[in-house]
Structure 1
Amino acid sequence: MDSHQKEQIVQSVPQKGFFGQPKGLFTLFFTEFWERFSYYGMRAILLYYMYYEVTKGGLGLDKETAASIMAIYGSLVYMSGIIGGWLADRLLGTSRTVFYGGVLIMIGHIVLAFPFGVSALFVSMGLIVIGTGLLKPNVSSIVGDLYADEDPRRDSGFSIFYMGINAGALIAPLIVGTVGQQYNFHLGFSLAAFGMLLGLIVFVITKKKNLGLAGTYVPNPLTGDEKKKVFIRLGGSALLIAVLGVIGIQTGLLTIKRFILMVSILGIVIPAVYFFVMYRSPKTSAVERSRLLAYIPLFIAAMMFWAIQEQGSIILARYADERTQLSFAGMELQSSWFQSLNPLFIVAFAPVFAWLWVKLGNRQPTTPRKFSFGLVFAGLSFIVMIIPAYVNGTESLVHPMWLVLSFFLVVIGELCLSPVGLSATTKLAPSAFTAQTMSLWFLTNASAQAINAQIVRFYHPDTEIIYFGVIGGISVLLGLILFLVSPKIHKMMKGVN
């Protein structure tokens, strides 16, 4: 997309109408609000659904396997963004891809709403994985289309959008978690399906008026001959994978543990291949290559951050269920409610950070230094969890405020890193790979959770101090290193701040 096309798209979008931001931000804010409600509502009870006994409405899986499945599920959700980015860049455009993704997500939650056991769980996961891969990177990419490249509102707009994401994630565990844990897991999953339906309704009704041309173009369209070849290859590959999967399951060669290991390996290999292909492409200019090289340490930093943040719904969810006092100020708590802490703090503090970046203007820290702050705070969020185990041991229940403090610290790090990373990705992306580079950003989360799938198995109350200390310490150390090398990275970004 050249500068003239970009200007046409920006001019087609009403530029005032939503907190001083382009009007299209309203559409994308509430589409993502309801999509995140559905996803985080389901995720707030999914771990418990897997390892609770059958007599309690669960599937009765062992806790270590359930934790690894949660991590690998999260990895596949973000890994599938490659498919969504490619379809948007080469075939459908971002707007249509977002709609189809929402439909698949809704169907996936509907499947999980029925008590069909483990088979329904994996069918549902497959649908949600593909659907989220279509929707998640592309709705964020459309946000980037609303702004001119030098629009000072861009970072602030992404922070507001990020607040919408977390507003949906905030109320989801309180509603879906309460219904799922107190009444019935499947009823909770049905509420997640309804949330995605509301998101689709908002998107379809308001997109024509609010988004203009944003999301309607195909940046790097396939030719007629390319389409035929691609469809043949994709169809053949899908059939081959399905056949091999059936054979593997029937013969016992493809077990859950081997599948998890395979995805963990892919979580490292895929982004490496992605960087190589974009860097070597003749459609990538010399300036864009320099920016891609600068993006690599940011990618690694984001991986480390998400490896800690995403354990909030796995390890800290177990911690809330097994190691935390669930009676506070005369009120009985549900362990799933702690999943609302992360989005609660983001909703509270995202406007502060949005105001701060605008207030500082050219004096604000560079993107690499914001990333370094994010890593340090993420590491501290794990390090503080050592204290209750060190002081009182691992046999007694812990005051819930320790979890509150941990979630608070990681959120401060998240607000330094995540919305800034979204914005930087849209600015550092090679023009021929706009949506696919956004998919690469979401691969930071996929790679982190692919690694987590191997790590979370080592958590046990007896290993708490070592587990939290080692992971937290590594994050703080990487944050300090990134801070020191940030001037060189910023220089390689070629004018992008």
Structure 2
Amino acid sequence: MSSQGPARERTFFGHPRGLATLFGTELWERFSWYGLRAILATFMAASPATGGLGLSEQTAQAIIGIYGALIYLVALPGGWIADRVLGARRAVLWGGFVIMCGHISMAVPVRGGVFVVLGLLLIIVGTGLLKPNVSTMVGRLYRPDEDGRRDAGFSIFYLSINIGAFVAPLVVGWLASGDRWHLGFGAAAVGMALGLTQYVLGGRHLRGVGERPGHRMTPAERGHFLIAVAVAVVVVASGLAAWVASGTFTLDAFALVMTLFIVAVPVLYFGYVLLGSHNLTDDERSRVKAYIWLFIAAAIFWMIYDLAPTVLLFFAQNRTDLSLFGLRITPATTQAFNPFFIMIFVPVFAALWVRLGNRVTAPQKFAAGLFVNGLSFVLMALAAQLALGGRISVWWLVLVYLVQVFGELALSPVGLSVTTKLAPEAFKSQMLGLWFISFSVGDAVGGQTWRLRRYMSEPAYFLTLAGIAIVASLVLLAFAGRLHAMMREHPAERAVTSP
């Protein structure tokens, strides 16, 4: 931290002081999120005698897939509520409070799943309010002409995510070991409480950012909105009640229905954009068609990548010798490998993309990321085959996570960039939300891949998913030139958009 003189406000590594407030808020929110994620699957599959829910590993995988999918899906309405009702600042405050209540609900030491379900629902709602809007506030700390400083500020902000993601599995996993599940959930609640405290105390440094909605609803619109919400709640609750009363409701069936719904969202949205009368130019329409293929590739990527808190976590618990450098670790500790490698390699890949410039196109980067992700599950197939003879070294998982991070850094940052580039002018903000729905689709479908285990061994399961990713990457690479042409990146446009 520095000071440029008595007349100027103190800064945070040369950036607005408000960045420190949002940095801390995001760090602790991510601590609570990744802390819960690191133990949730093993808690769900643990025997009721040890305080768990007693679900099968397959059902736990499906439920957590839906949970992760909804976390990304609610970012769209969460951003809309901030823009039209609360303002970003209050949305973050209320979102953090609701998240904290969710973790507290899960920490209640009562047998059964009622408080767990309530807690997960509260966390989903709260994250939808907090996650998209805290990032929006970071951008608004800077003037419109400060593009360079804003990009650097987001890089610092991104570090907070990975610090929280790295520390959380270590702390929460250790506290929850020995079947002390609710102590781990309580630690996540404390983390969010610390984030809220820091957010409130540092609020004066935000300089009014996000205090008011960008386009406040009129009284008539507010009335219509409340009626629509009430009707939606009644319809959904009535439908679920009727389903349960019919005796056919199961968690697996519910997860499958939710997966189909989540997959339908982008299908309907792309149809709305391309078939509706939005005065799209030919170039815009061509870019959207190219983006559909990148969206599918991203969804396949996340389908595999986000199996970390379920399939890979169970593999760590059941198939590996949990020892690193002679020290015993918890299964949750393996969830810290990913953010650790991300913090190391982000600057490496940032420098690589600058050096390569326009010689490697976005479709080629997507294909590379997807191919590398597929290779990670080829390694998992080999590890699973070796584990048939007994527990194997946890270093196999270290290697798998290292390879996956290379894939993520080839695809994920590029995905955000290409989304802003290909979005039609009338859908700029909405398309950014759509990018996160690729995470949602991937998580939901990934949660359903357990059904493959009915027909194949564990090594074959990993090899099948690897094959899907590798084949998809090769198809994408084969059509990369065509897709690049469909993106209509004319020389004049590149000259304008190049940094």
TM-score after normalising by structure 1: 0.87
The one-letter amino acid paired with 1:476 is I
The answer for the alignment partner of 2:320 in structure 1 is: 324
C-alpha RMSD over aligned residues: 3.1
The answer for the alignment partner of 1:127 in structure 2 is: 122
Asked if 1 retains the 8 angstrom alpha-carbon contact of 2:346 and 2:409, the reply is yes
Deviation at 1:277, TM superposition (A): 3.4
The answer for the alignment partner of 1:72 in structure 2 is: 66
Deviation at 1:356, TM superposition (A): 3.9
Q: How does 1:119-268 map to 2 (within 5 A)?
A: 119-145=114-140, 146=142, 148=144, 151=147, 157-182=153-178, 184-210=180-206, 213=209, 215=210, 218=213, 222-268=217-263
C-alpha distance 107-325 of structure 1, shift in aligned 2 (>3 A): same
Partner Cα separation in structure 2 for residue 133 and residue 293 of structure 1: 28
Q: How does 1:378-397 map to 2 (within 5 A)?
A: 378-390=373-385, 392=386, 394-397=388-391
Deviation at 1:268, TM superposition (A): 0.8
Asked if 1 retains the 8 angstrom alpha-carbon contact of 2:21 and 2:205, the reply is no
C-alpha distance 470-190 of structure 1, shift in aligned 2 (>3 A): same
Deviation at 1:56, TM superposition (A): 1.8
The answer for the alignment partner of 1:8 in structure 2 is: none
The one-letter amino acid paired with 2:254 is F
The one-letter amino acid paired with 2:26 is E
The answer for the alignment partner of 1:333 in structure 2 is: 329
Asked if 2 retains the 8 angstrom alpha-carbon contact of 1:155 and 1:419, the reply is no
The answer for the alignment partner of 1:441 in structure 2 is: 435
Asked if 2 retains the 8 angstrom alpha-carbon contact of 1:89 and 1:433, the reply is no
Aligned mate of 2:267, from 269, 272, 275:
272
Aligned mate of 1:409, from 403, 414, 422:
403
* Higher alpha-carbon Rg: 2
The one-letter amino acid paired with 1:115 is P
Number of equivalences: 481
Deviation at 1:365, TM superposition (A): 3.5
3-state SS of paired residue (1:77):
helix
Asked if 1 retains the 8 angstrom alpha-carbon contact of 2:296 and 2:438, the reply is yes
Aligned mate of 2:76, from 82, 100, 103:
82
C-alpha distance 73-147 of structure 1, shift in aligned 2 (>3 A): farther
> 1 or 2 for the larger relative contact order (CA 8 Å, sep ≥6)?
1
Q: How does 1:456-467 map to 2 (within 5 A)?
A: 456-459=450-453, 463-467=457-461
C-alpha distance 289-24 of structure 1, shift in aligned 2 (>3 A): farther
C-alpha distance 40-195 of structure 1, shift in aligned 2 (>3 A): same
3-state SS of paired residue (2:108):
coil
Asked if 2 retains the 8 angstrom alpha-carbon contact of 1:304 and 1:475, the reply is yes
The one-letter amino acid paired with 1:273 is L
Partner Cα separation in structure 2 for residue 15 and residue 356 of structure 1: 36
Partner Cα separation in structure 1 for residue 433 and residue 266 of structure 2: 10
The answer for the alignment partner of 2:102 in structure 1 is: 108
Asked if 2 retains the 8 angstrom alpha-carbon contact of 1:80 and 1:130, the reply is yes
| 1:23-48 per-position Cα deviation (integer Å, ceiling 9, x unaligned) | 65444333221111101101111111
Partner Cα separation in structure 1 for residue 357 and residue 206 of structure 2: 30
C-alpha distance 219-401 of structure 1, shift in aligned 2 (>3 A): same
Deviation at 1:17, TM superposition (A): 4.8
The answer for the alignment partner of 1:40 in structure 2 is: 34
Partner Cα separation in structure 2 for residue 443 and residue 166 of structure 1: 21
When structure 1 is superposed on structure 2, of 187-196 and 217-226 the one drifting more is 217-226
C-alpha distance 200-273 of structure 1, shift in aligned 2 (>3 A): farther
The answer for the alignment partner of 2:23 in structure 1 is: 29
Aligned mate of 1:374, from 369, 373, 385:
369
The one-letter amino acid paired with 1:295 is Y
Partner Cα separation in structure 2 for residue 291 and residue 138 of structure 1: 27
- 1:485 pairs with 2:462: no
Deviation at 1:318, TM superposition (A): 0.6
3-state SS of paired residue (1:182):
coil
C-alpha distance 183-468 of structure 1, shift in aligned 2 (>3 A): closer
| 1:365-405 per-position Cα deviation (integer Å, ceiling 9, x unaligned) | 44333322221211111111222344x36131111111001
Aligned identity (percent) is 42
Partner Cα separation in structure 2 for residue 413 and residue 354 of structure 1: 14
- 1:315 pairs with 2:291: no
- 1:421 pairs with 2:421: no
C-alpha distance 352-198 of structure 1, shift in aligned 2 (>3 A): farther
Deviation at 1:479, TM superposition (A): 2.2
The answer for the alignment partner of 1:10 in structure 2 is: none
Structure 2 unaligned residues grouped into runs of 5+: 1-7
Partner Cα separation in structure 1 for residue 422 and residue 87 of structure 2: 20
3-state SS of paired residue (2:320):
coil
Partner Cα separation in structure 1 for residue 384 and residue 182 of structure 2: 35
Aligned mate of 1:349, from 345, 350, 354:
345
Asked if 1 retains the 8 angstrom alpha-carbon contact of 2:51 and 2:179, the reply is no
| 1:77-106 per-position Cα deviation (integer Å, ceiling 9, x unaligned) | 222223213323443343333332222111
The answer for the alignment partner of 2:296 in structure 1 is: 300
C-alpha distance 19-87 of structure 1, shift in aligned 2 (>3 A): same
Asked if 2 retains the 8 angstrom alpha-carbon contact of 1:85 and 1:438, the reply is no
3-state SS of paired residue (1:416):
helix
Partner Cα separation in structure 2 for residue 152 and residue 364 of structure 1: 23
Deviation at 1:348, TM superposition (A): 1.7
Deviation at 1:473, TM superposition (A): 2.1
Partner Cα separation in structure 2 for residue 130 and residue 158 of structure 1: 24
C-alpha distance 102-56 of structure 1, shift in aligned 2 (>3 A): same
When structure 1 is superposed on structure 2, of 155-164 and 328-337 the one drifting more is 155-164
Structure 1 unaligned residues grouped into runs of 5+: 1-13
3-state SS of paired residue (1:138):
helix
Partner Cα separation in structure 2 for residue 346 and residue 333 of structure 1: 21
| 1:216-272 per-position Cα deviation (integer Å, ceiling 9, x unaligned) | 565565444333222211111112212222232233233212211111101210112
C-alpha distance 22-429 of structure 1, shift in aligned 2 (>3 A): farther
Deviation at 1:157, TM superposition (A): 5.0
Deviation at 1:309, TM superposition (A): 1.0
Partner Cα separation in structure 1 for residue 156 and residue 267 of structure 2: 31
The answer for the alignment partner of 1:7 in structure 2 is: none
3-state SS of paired residue (2:147):
coil
3-state SS of paired residue (1:314):
helix
When structure 1 is superposed on structure 2, of 395-404 and 89-98 the one drifting more is 89-98
